[in-house]
Amino acid sequence: MVFCYFKIQKGPGGLTFCLPLIRSDPAAFESRLEKRSEFRKQPVGHSRQGDFIKCVEQKTLGKQPVSRGFTKDKTLSSIFNIEMVKDKTAEEIKQIWQQYFAAKDTVYAVIPKEKFDLIWNRAQSCPTFLCALPRREGYEFFVGQWTGTELHFTALINIQTRGEAAASQLILYHYPELKEEKGIVLMTAEMDSTFLSVAEAQCMANQVQLFYATDRKETYGLVETFNFRPNEFKYMSVIAELEQSGLGAELKCSQNQNKT
């Protein structure tokens, strides 16, 4: 049996909208959502959902406070001696970066210049997006917002309940200082461990590349739709892409094992 729950919330600006709490089969969930929408004369992915997305962009994202424990203006020089690696190759710097963070409980990466340039160029025109994080039962949505080379994530429910006071729960820091000379961009992260595990943060970081660095037009099209045609955006499309990619499968498996 499929259970679908909807919680009515007051969003920024007094907007009323429904948050789907997905408990099992996504296809069945969408069918139930469509039936509910027909009953309320409110088409799926239109009107109130679009208004809410616009409201998120205009009134909340970009203004959200950084959570307690996060580093303000976290620079590369504060964690890495750039002068000492100037004579190193990109591969050597990559190994140093990975060795440094391997023993730390965080997310990190070394991104090739070409891939980062693609992500960065797309982020300029589409700075906001929604990603889905697999939970033990269903999915939780997080809103991502680019602020310079920092990418802030906040749970959608936080924005619904706290509005402009919603704090970042995950920040991805991208450092392009070595991009032109070495052809790499260094990335690391900080997260609120009371809300996210490292595995969950990694899943969200992987979705940045899934949606922003993809060659598949349909996948990046979801990002464009969210930013430019919010009335056409459907939450279930994000879940479908995530499941097709397999990115959340390992996380879902570990969550189920912990449950048992």
The string of pLDDT tens digits covering residues 37-60 is 443 333 333 334 445 455 454 544
Q: Residues 6 or more apart from 225 whose CB is under 8 A from it?
A: 232, 233
Give the C-alpha separation, 50 to 65, whole Å.
24
Judged on CB neighbours under 10 Å (0-12, 13-18, 19+), 107 is buried
> What is the per-residue pLDDT for 92?
96
Q: Residues 6 or more apart from 195 whose CB is under 8 A from it?
A: 155, 169
Q: Residue 177 in contact with residue 88, Cβ under 8 Å?
A: no
Q: Each residue of 68-126: pLDDT tens digit?
A: 557 766 889 888 888 888 899 999 999 999 999 988 999 999 999 999 999 999 999 99
CA dihedral of 213, 214, 215, 219, whole degrees rounded to 10: -140
- Phi, psi angles (nearest 5°) of residue 141: -95, 140
Decide which of 156 and 71 is more confident.
Answer: 156
Question: DSSP readout, 150-170?
Answer: EEEEEEHHHHHHHGGGPPPSE
**Kindly report the CA angle at 161 between 253 and 63, in degrees rounded to 5?**
95
Decide which of 81 and 26 is more confident.
Answer: 81
What's the pTM?
0.74
Helices (H), the chain: 26-39, 48-55, 90-102, 113-125, 156-162, 179-182, 198-212, 217-228, 235-245, 249-259
Q: Which residues pair with 150 in a beta bridge?
A: 147, 173
